[in-house]
């Protein structure tokens, strides 16, 4: 337990100091029967930290060579960087009213289920790829089509060339793009 002058008070110690000791005969225990509830929160936090550290070690050991960089600092220390590691998702409502969820990035789950039965903690090591699946979204209205695509590292000139190529393909074969649902 911490002394009265100590500024580093554990959450369950703070609770005891504020509401009194947790002996069963004390008035505080009768008023607040949850005892040292903060101890449980602290144990959960500690367990989450351990799991996070374990997953981080797994990330570093399973990352593709293309995503790992090691170098020496001017002070002589060795630094190991892993990344970029990107995961995200985009959720939209389709014309049929059903949600459409698209993942992007270079991290994929190695198993379809997260967590175990009854809320357990069976984690699987995610799969990391050196290639990123970009964030892409197509927004259509009656008068226009907006395409939003993440293209890190691609110059504006190359994007302009790609757009010209795509427009030529669409004008050559509009029925193919209509079948695919890109044109009306």
Domain positions in the chain are 11-62
Calculate the average pLDDT of the chain: 75
Residue 148's pLDDT is: 86
- Which one has a higher pLDDT value, 97 or 138? 97
Half-sphere exposure of 134 (CA within 13 A, CB side): 11
pLDDT tens for residues 154-163?
898 998 898 8
Helices then strands, counting H and E runs in the chain, come out as: 5, 7
Residue 180 pLDDT more than 50?
yes
Rounded mean pLDDT, 7-29 = 54
Most confident of 48-52, 118-122, 124-128: 48-52
Residue 25 pLDDT more than 50?
no
DSSP strand pairing (87-93 vs 99-108): antiparallel
pLDDT tens for residues 63-78?
888 998 999 999 999 9
pLDDT tens for residues 68-118?
899 999 999 999 888 888 888 888 888 789 998 888 899 887 765 444 444
Chain-centre distance of CA 143, in angstroms? Answer: 35
Residue 182's pLDDT is: 63
Residue 141 pLDDT more than 80?
yes
């Amino acid at each position: 337990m911490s002394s009265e002058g100590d500024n580093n008070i554990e959450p369950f110690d703070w609770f005891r100091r504020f509401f009194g000791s947790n002996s069963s005969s004390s008035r505080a225990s009768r008023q607040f029967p949850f005892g040292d509830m903060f101890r449980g929160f602290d144990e959960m936090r500690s367990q989450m930290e351990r799991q996070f550290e374990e997953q981080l070690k797994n990330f570093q050991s399973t990352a593709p060579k293309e995503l790992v960089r090691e170098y020496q600092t001017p002070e002589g220390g060795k630094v190991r960087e892993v990344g970029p590691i990107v995961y995200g998702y985009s959720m939209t409502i389709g014309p049929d009213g059903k949600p459409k969820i698209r993942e992007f990035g270079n991290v994929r789950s190695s198993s379809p289920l997260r967590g175990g039965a009854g809320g357990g903690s069976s984690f699987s090591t995610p799969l990391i790829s050196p290639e990123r699946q970009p964030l892409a979204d197509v927004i259509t209205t009656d008068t226009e089509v907006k395409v939003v695509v993440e293209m890190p590292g691609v110059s504006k000139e190359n994007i302009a060339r790609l757009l010209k190529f795509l427009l030529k393909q669409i004008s050559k074969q509009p029925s193919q793009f209509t079948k695919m649902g890109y044109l009306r």
